[in-house]
Amino acid sequence: MLNISPNSTKDQVDVSSFEAYQKIELPSSNILFRYWLLGAFIVLIAMQFLPWTQNIQTDGKITTLSPDQRPQNIESTIAGRIDKWYIREGQFVSKGDTIAYITEIKTDYFDKDLVNRTKLQVEAKQAAGQAYALKAKALDNQVTAMQQELELKKQQLKNKVIQTELKIKSLQADLEQVKVDKQIAAYQLNRTDTLFQKGIKSLSDLEGKRLKVQETTAKVISAENKWQEAQNELAINQLDFERIENEYANKIAKSRSDKYTALSSQYDAKGSINKLENQYQNYLERSSFYYITAPQDCFINQVLKKGIGETVKEGEALVSTTPADMKLAVELFIRPMDLPLIKIGQEIRFIFDGWPAFIFSGWPGLSFGTYNGEVVAIDNNISQNGKYRILVNANQEKEWPKALRVGSGAQGVALLNTVPVWYELWRQVNGFPPDFYEEKSNKAPKMKAPVKSLK
């Protein structure tokens, strides 16, 4: 009964009549379960060696690569009152199309002919500036003419002085001559008087000599007076030479002062012209802001100011728009601990809201309905939600759906290293991050030669 012998008695004894044998015998279903459990265990062990792609999963939303392609509000540059609308919601508008027309609400700009009046002021001030320039030029010519006239006057006075000096010399010679004549007449009078005393000369001869002396005396006095007058004339001419220089210096100084006054007025007019031109350009530019136009081809999303006659402030939004030509991208947010695993050009897979998909995170090749992309930008600064933002652009492998809109949700999966399943389970149980190991170089490090010791 102990089955010690190799000879079995199982076939020779009918054990069906024994109740104990019936209780210890295994049913066929238990045997099948044992084989099934063994097979499942073998399959589970084999699955541990299957490849598993590590990944980082995160949520995000659809945006655009270029800032000018993102939805934006069209604002009013100036404060005004809405007078007319030219669009409706959902309408497509081209660049430069008129969206609305506003009118002024500030009293400084109520004049409808303000731009033309300012232009006339600019032209009037420009004419005044030109007149001041002509005046300065005329005064400059006047100074030149007076300088030339002064030179002529000085030359004239020089000639007059020379002429007076020559006249003085001539009068000096005449004076010397009459003095000699007087001396001769006096000498003859003395001789005639002596001869008259001796009775040789008559009284009439004596009287004639006396008359001759008086005549020569009168001539001497006359010559002295003329010589003195010539001396005075010379002194007057010399004084006139100095006076004419001072007189014309004062005139030239006054003309130059008037010239600088005109130039100062001209420069002041230039400053006023620049100010008025600036004001004119501001008014002209402001008048172009009355018509609110589309900055690019876009669709009108929503009209934010609906009433006619409703006032708007400077920089207040009137309508929200979506650009017609957009290059979509996905904006994802990565945890700081996962940021070192992301790099430019890395592949990212997406599931877009509204598009059914079956995804196997560890076996991306078996996933269905996912779309590919690659990382094109990584923020250097952390966002307010405590994560880093990355931008993912579509690649050429599979085109994204045409019906995607900016702001729709997206779930991204960043593919990392491929490891065995058992390794991934071990990593998850221990809480280790995904692998990020760079290939080590096989080159031996360069060793520096030892420094020779000094003996």
At 68-79, the pLDDT tens digits run: 888 899 999 899
Q: Shortest CA distance to 121 belongs to which of 285, 264, 278?
A: 278
pLDDT at 11: 60
Instruction: Give the range among 81-90, 205-214, 249-258, 324-333 with minimum mean pLDDT.
Output: 205-214
More confident residue, 201 or 8: 201
pLDDT at 445: 43
Residue 431: Cβ-neighbour burial (10 angstroms; 0-12, 13-18, 19+): exposed
Residues 6+ apart with CB under 8 A from 228: none
Q: And the tokens for 434? A: 């995904």
Q: Shortest CA distance to 308 belongs to which of 90, 91, 80?
A: 80
pLDDT at 38: 80
**CATH code of the domain occupying 71-104+290-322:** 2.40.50.100
More confident residue, 442 or 37: 37
pTM for the complete prediction?
0.54
**Confidence tier at 247 by pLDDT (50, 70, 90):** confident
Angle between helices 203-288 and 114-198 (to 10 degrees): 170
At 92-109, the pLDDT tens digits run: 999 999 999 999 888 888
**CATH code of the domain occupying 114-288:** 1.10.287
CATH 2.40.50.100 residue ranges of the chain are 71-104+290-322
Work out the average pLDDT over 364-377. Answer: 70
> For residues 96 and 68, what is the distance between their CA atoms, to the nearest angstrom?
16
User: Identity (one letter) of the amino acid at 308?
Assistant: I
CATH 2.40.30.170 residue ranges of the chain are 53-68+326-430
**Confidence tier at 284 by pLDDT (50, 70, 90):** confident
More confident residue, 181 or 333: 333
pLDDT at 25: 57
At 296-354, the pLDDT tens digits run: 999 998 998 877 888 999 989 999 998 888 888 889 888 887 787 788 888 887 778 76
Q: Are 136 and 263 in contact (CB under 8 A)?
A: yes
At 10-62, the pLDDT tens digits run: 566 565 666 666 555 555 556 677 778 888 888 777 777 667 666 677 888 88
- In a 3-state reduction of DSSP, which class is residue 201? coil
pLDDT at 134 over 60: yes
Q: Shortest CA distance to 60 belongs to which of 429, 353, 362?
A: 353
Q: And the tokens for 213? A: 């002396």
According to CATH, the superfamily of the domain at 53-68+326-430 is Efflux pump adaptor protein, beta barrel domain (2.40.30.170)
Strand partners, 371: 350
pLDDT at 2: 54
Work out the average pLDDT over 190-198. Answer: 77
Residue with tokens 């030339």: 148
CATH 1.10.287 residue ranges of the chain are 114-288
Number of residues that this document lists for the chain: 455
Q: What DSSP letter does each residue of 215-266 carry, written as one string?
A: HHHHHHHHHHHHHHHHHHHHHHHHHHHHHHHHHHHHHHHHHHHHHHHHHHHH
Look at phi and psi of residue 386 and say left if phi exceeds 0, alpha if psi is from -120 to 50, else beta. Answer: left
